[in-house]
Amino acid sequence: MVFIAGPRQVGKTTLAKQIMEKFQNPLYFNFDHPEDRKNLIERNWKPENEILVFDEIHKWRNWKSWLKGIYDKEKDQHKILVTGSARMDVYRKGGDSLQGRYHHYRLNPFTFGELTSQIQESFFSLLFERGGFPEPFLSKTNRNVKRWKKERMDRVVREDIFSLENLKSLFQLEILVDLLKDRVGSPLSIRSLAEDLSVSHPTVESWIRVLESMYVIFRVTPYSKKLNRAVKREYKIYFYDWTEATSEGARLENMVALHLLASCNFKEDVEGERSSLHFLKDRDGHEVDFLTTIDGKPTSLIEVKKSDTSPSRSLIYFHNKLDEKQCKSYQLIYDLKNEVLHHTIYILPMERYFSFEE
């Protein structure tokens, strides 16, 4: 089987229907649709249906054990594609384990590299302003963009999360989302959030995990291997829709974070490499925005700037500390036309960095 997961309205259903066109007698079931749900549960399909597509099936409590039974019995008759707006890469040791029965792919919002085949000069600034979700990016008016943003977040919190999680206070969860928008790119203080919301520390942690599982936010953890005095416990959060960040600087950093995350996801899901995204910070005040790794080894050290082309002191510091032959250091600038090489630090226009594969 193939699982495609990602944020609500990122394009999973559109992609699934494009894939269906390559098969004979494809059959599509949307679990949110009552008639589709009934037909799905009753297994109303035929052997000649070459591919079965189950959309949003994760909203069914017993979906894993049901799907395991379908696959084990009918895997020689049908291709099976499953899509959903919640994390589905869950391994369990019980009888309903799906391990070894599927490939898992994550679909992220548009990134600049995906748009370069039909590049226009305004695409990068448009991506920064509207985000990478297809509908607002392709919209003809800013009014539609604003309306889409509001409606999407309302649906995620009030429909998707409510249908999957036993949360007593959706209102407080909505407040948490608003508080997180002001904290994009900063080390997260759970204690401060708990005080603002008048709830316990574990409650805030559990709500953050819910928002992660629903592809609203993702966390970036510190890298500490081989680094003395490195911060180990703090983490930062970013939104899949980077336009949720309240300041221009945070939005820019969030956009870069999503681009790097998408690259790490691709390396893991498609190429089978263990790739991850981190940041660097030590107790002496040195901090660099991002570090990517493959199999735990640093590959790219990245600092994000709006217009400052002077090499970051922390970037130089950590570049020398890591001393990894395969790790390149970049300072990405939003307002820059031409690249500059400062010793071993590459100072690049942001759009140039994301227009080619590393």
Identify whether 272 is part of a domain.
yes
Count of structural domains, the chain: 2
Strand (E) or helix (H) holding 154: helix 142-155
Q: What pLDDT score does 169 carry?
A: 74
Q: What pLDDT score does 266 carry?
A: 94
DSSP E strand boundaries for the chain: 2-5, 27-30, 51-55, 79-84, 103-106, 217-222, 236-239, 275-281, 287-294, 297-305, 328-333, 340-342, 345-349
Q: What pLDDT score does 94 carry?
A: 44
Q: Strand 275-281 relative to strand 217-222: parallel, antiparallel, unpaired?
A: parallel
Domain of residue 32 covers 2-106
Q: Do 55 and 122 sit in the same domain of this protein?
A: no
Domain final residue, candidates 83, 106, 129 = 106
Q: Do 293 and 344 sit in the same domain of this protein?
A: yes
Q: Which amino acid is at 314?
A: S
Q: What pLDDT score does 140 carry?
A: 84
Q: Do 173 and 143 sit in the same domain of this protein?
A: yes
Identify whether 358 is part of a domain.
no
Q: What pLDDT score does 116 carry?
A: 65
**Residue 329 gets which letter from DSSP?**
E
Mutual angle of helices 123-130 and 248-269, in 10-degree steps: 100
| CATH number of the domain bearing residue 17 | 3.40.50.300
Q: Do 120 and 102 sit in the same domain of this protein?
A: no
Q: What pLDDT score does 21 carry?
A: 96
Q: Do 284 and 199 sit in the same domain of this protein?
A: yes
Q: Do 244 and 265 sit in the same domain of this protein?
A: yes
Q: What pLDDT score does 348 carry?
A: 92
What is the value of pTM for the model shown?
0.92
Q: What pLDDT score does 93 carry?
A: 42
Q: Do 116 and 58 sit in the same domain of this protein?
A: no
Domain final residue, candidates 86, 106, 126 = 106
Q: What pLDDT score does 231 carry?
A: 75
Domain final residue, candidates 106, 121, 136 = 106
Q: Do 55 and 189 sit in the same domain of this protein?
A: no
Mean pLDDT by 10 residues, the chain (358 residues): 94 95 96 94 95 92 90 94 83 59 94 73 83 92 89 82 68 90 94 92 91 94 80 89 95 97 95 94 91 93 92 92 82 85 86 73
Q: Do 84 and 123 sit in the same domain of this protein?
A: no
Q: Rounded to 5, what percent of the chain is helix, strand, coil?
A: 40, 20, 40
With H, G, I as helix, E, B as strand and everything else as coil, classify residue 304.
Answer: strand
